[in-house]
């Protein structure tokens, strides 16, 4: 038998690798330049960065030069007097009140929304689904539409001009979106894990604390940031439900630099910068969890 007629050894196929279909060519994915996306990213970056730069630059400028010259030009003689004015104008009191409101709102939202989302996911009857859908109607109700009934209710409860008058409505309006995010996250938890714990004799409460909460850290982090932002940036409820300086928060403290005859623009912007640093730091720490939790909205 000649060398040309020797039988060829059969090719072994690697496990898990399917041969390409006949007549179909293998695709090679390569990165291609996208100038339109690059230009859009640059434009969006400019839209975000330029106002922030103008705010920082103006906060380092004296009051006499705030309205003169080019706002995008770096200050010729930067000064920290505006920040000193803000820090000596009761900023610490405003910051502590805002922190108390934010922590309390986050605590209430987590304590109520996590069990609500767990029941909405684990209970498959018609009443649970109907209650969940009715609960989400809160997303479509603006706060301005119910501010007068809320004012009357808070006044009758004796909570007017207290921090509770700000905390309770803020937490209530943050709950619908928080439940929606948590439901989308909890639906991604495998049903096999629940069945395994049920076979071990675990109660629903034990499943909630030992299985659901550890696997829903992304959604919980998203809810924490969302509720904290709602409390930190809230303006309507503190404006309507408080009056004295005791329960005043940062958003109302900005009025300190607005008078009948003018506005102290550099001090106002310095106050905005200082008030945004804490919540911006929280966002930087948990931004990955925030994006991951928002991607899970809707679930399976």
How does pLDDT run across 226-277, given as a tens digit for each residue? 899 899 989 999 999 998 888 999 988 887 777 656 678 888 888 889 988 8
Question: How far apart are the C-alpha atoms of 212 and 219, rounded to whole Å?
Answer: 11
C-alpha closest to that of 166 among 258, 280, 243: 243
* pTM score: 0.78
Question: How far apart are the C-alpha atoms of 299 and 234, rounded to whole Å?
Answer: 29
How does pLDDT run across 101-159, given as a tens digit for each residue? 999 999 999 999 999 888 888 887 778 778 788 878 888 888 888 999 999 999 999 99
Extract the tokens encoding 238.
């503190």
| pLDDT at 11 exceeding the cut of 80 | no
Q: Summarize the chain as % helix, strand, coil (round to 5).
A: 65, 0, 30
| pLDDT at 46 exceeding the cut of 80 | yes
Contact 92, 247 (CB under 8 A): no
How does pLDDT run across 163-177, given as a tens digit for each residue? 999 999 999 999 999
C-alpha closest to that of 162 among 173, 170, 154: 154
Q: What one-character DSSP code corresponds to residue 141? A: S
| pLDDT at 98 exceeding the cut of 90 | yes
């Amino acid at each position: 038998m000649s060398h040309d007629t020797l039988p060829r050894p059969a090719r072994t196929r690697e496990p898990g690798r399917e041969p390409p279909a006949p007549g179909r060519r293998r695709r090679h994915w390569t990165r291609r330049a996208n100038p339109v996306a690059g230009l859009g990213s640059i434009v969006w970056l400019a839209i975000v960065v330029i106002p922030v730069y103008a705010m920082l630059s103006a906060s380092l400028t004296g009051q006499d030069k705030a309205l003169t010259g080019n706002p995008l030009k770096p200050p010729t003689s930067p000064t920290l007097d505006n920040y000193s004015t803000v820090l000596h104008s009761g900023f610490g009191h405003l910051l502590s009140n805002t922190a108390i409101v934010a922590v309390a709102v986050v605590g209430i939202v987590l304590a109520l929304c996590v069990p609500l989302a767990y029941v909405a996911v684990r209970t498959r009857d018609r009443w649970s689904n109907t209650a969940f859908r009715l609960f989400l109607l809160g997303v479509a109700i603006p706060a301005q539409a119910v501010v007068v009934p809320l004012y009357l209710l808070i006044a009758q409860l004796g909570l007017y001009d207290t921090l509770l008058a700000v905390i309770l409505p803020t937490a209530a309006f943050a709950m619908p979106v928080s439940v929606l995010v948590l439901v989308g996250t909890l639906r991604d938890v495998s049903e096999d894990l629940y069945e395994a714990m049920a076979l071990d004799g675990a109660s629903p409460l034990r499943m909630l604390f030992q299985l659901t909460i550890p696997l829903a850290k992304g959604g919980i982090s998203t809810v924490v940031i969302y509720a904290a932002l709602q409390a930190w940036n809230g303006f309507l409820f503190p404006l309507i439900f408080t009056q004295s300086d005791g329960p005043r928060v940062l958003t109302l403290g900005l009025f300190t630099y607005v008078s009948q005859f003018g506005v102290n623009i550099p001090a106002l912007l310095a106050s905005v910068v200082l008030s945004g640093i804490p919540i911006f730091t929280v966002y930087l720490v948990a931004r990955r969890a925030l994006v991951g939790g928002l991607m899970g909205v809707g679930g399976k």
